[in-house]
Amino acid sequence: MDTRKLQDDIDAGKVNDVEIIPPEIVQSELKSKIIKAQKMYDLHPSPNNLDKLIRAEVDLEHAIRDNECLIKGCVHKKYIKVVE
């Protein structure tokens, strides 16, 4: 994904109804998810709540590793880089 070009076009008004959520915000939201899952597990330790906590931690690890951002909206194919 050519996020730089996409963001430039969003800023210039060439692309509407699309928003790029930067990695810092994605990671912050995932950290909040971990805190919530930890509180739930602390209150009600169960295999299900432990699984939710572990999944939340893994989600954050992957987001950090991949420097993930989120894109809201539909993006034209010209912004997508095809890797072979």
Q: What is the pLDDT along the chain (84 residues), one digit of tens a residue?
A: 889 999 999 999 999 999 999 999 999 999 999 999 999 999 999 999 999 999 999 999 999 999 999 999 999 999 998 888
- Quote the pLDDT of residue 40: 98
- Quote the pLDDT of residue 60: 98
- Quote the pLDDT of residue 84: 81
DSSP per-residue codes, 8-74: HHHHTTSS-S-EEE-HHHHHHHHHHHHHHHHHHHHHS--HHHHHHHHHHHHHHHHHHHHT--EEES-
- Quote the pLDDT of residue 49: 98
**The pTM is what?**
0.81
